[in-house]
């Protein structure tokens, strides 16, 4: 039986989504351990996106297969009891056997939060980049418009050894500023390693006046990581939602 679930997590103390041999502190590793503790079965929990160390999720989608079917609500309750307090499961449901949380995904939305006001967000410090200075959001919006669409995003990829295509489609980059905080929402059909954080760092450099919006086509054409901006800190990034065929994006 294939099970689909929505997973929320505070990624602060974890080494990212993907299971690793050198540490048990990964989201995938913790979920698989919980399934094993509850069901006695060793499974692979497949996530829609492999979030980096320190990155959070409000709407990660994952799936796993069990040989012996379980009652959904009881399984969800038992898994949540077996998980640490900074990882939670909601919306557990039976899925079609062909459903694959990663390969079936049509789009994802990430949000990056930046404090632009002078007042510190003490209780939000794990989830907001405490930048603390104003940014030229009008210039950043112009740059964002030039980054939307289908492009080769090699310049915005943190994996220098990646051999697969870096062509992705970003359908929208929305900037919203309120009460001393700038939120940037990225929606696209897929994102490369560190891509959202590098896009954010590049847009911040535009907001600082270090780059212009008109630099974006040249950065894309370079297909060189050195051409783009810095990688923004992990704590400001959260995976909001994963969309599948027939679901409307944000």
Last residue of a domain, one of 60, 95, 130: 95
What's the pLDDT score for residue 249?
63
Instruction: Look at residue 250 and tell me whether its pLDDT is greater than 80.
Output: no
What's the pLDDT score for residue 153?
98
> Does the active-site annotation cover 224?
no
Confirm whether 101 is domain-assigned.
Answer: no
On whether both 63 and 144 belong to a single domain, the answer is: no
Last residue of a domain, one of 44, 75, 95: 95
CATH number at residue 138: 3.30.70.660
- pLDDT tens column, 135-151: 999 999 999 999 999 99
Answer whether 207's CB lies under 8 Å from 135's CB: yes
Number of domains in the chain: 2
Task: Please list, in sequence order, all residues whose beta carbon lies within 8 angstroms of the beta carbon of residue 196, skipping any fewer than 6 positions away.
Answer: 110, 112, 186, 237
What's the pLDDT score for residue 161?
80
On whether both 111 and 91 belong to a single domain, the answer is: no
Bridge partners of 182, per DSSP, are: 114, 177
What's the pLDDT score for residue 121?
85
In terms of residue numbers, what domain contains 34?
A: 2-95
Confirm whether 28 is domain-assigned.
Answer: yes
What's the pLDDT score for residue 163?
78
State the pTM of this model.
Answer: 0.94
On whether both 221 and 153 belong to a single domain, the answer is: yes
CATH number at residue 13: 3.30.70.580
Answer whether 217's CB lies under 8 Å from 200's CB: no
Mean pLDDT, residues 65-94 taken together:
96
Which one from 52, 96, 152, 179 is the annotated catalytic residue? 52
């Amino acid at each position: 039986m294939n099970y689909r679930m929505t997973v929320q997590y505070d990624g602060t103390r974890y080494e990212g989504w993907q299971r690793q041999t050198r540490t048990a502190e990964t989201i995938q590793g913790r979920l698989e351990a919980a399934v094993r503790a509850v069901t006695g079965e060793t499974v692979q929990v497949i996530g829609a996106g492999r979030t980096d160390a320190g990155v959070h999720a409000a709407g990660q989608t994952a799936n796993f297969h069990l040989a012996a079917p379980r009652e959904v609500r009881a399984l969800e309750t038992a898994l949540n009891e077996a998980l640490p307090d900074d990882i939670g499961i909601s919306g557990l449901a039976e899925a079609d056997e062909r459903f694959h949380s990663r390969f079936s995904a049509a789009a994802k939305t990430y949000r990056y939060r930046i404090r632009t006001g002078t007042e510190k967000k003490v209780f939000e410090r794990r989830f907001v980049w405490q930048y603390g200075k104003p940014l030229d959001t009008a210039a950043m919006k112009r740059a964002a418009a030039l980054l939307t669409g289908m492009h080769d995003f090699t310049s915005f990829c943190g994996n220098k050894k990646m051999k697969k295509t870096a062509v992705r489609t970003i359908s929208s980059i929305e900037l919203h500023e309120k009460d001393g905080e700038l939120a940037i929402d990225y929606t696209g059909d897929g994102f490369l390693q560190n891509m959202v954080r590098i896009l954010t760092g590049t847009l911040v450099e535009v907001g600082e006046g270090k780059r212009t919006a008109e630099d974006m086509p040249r950065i894309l054409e370079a297909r060189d990581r050195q051409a783009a901006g810095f990688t923004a800190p992990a704590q400001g990034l959260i995976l909001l939602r994963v969309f599948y065929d027939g679901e409307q994006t944000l």
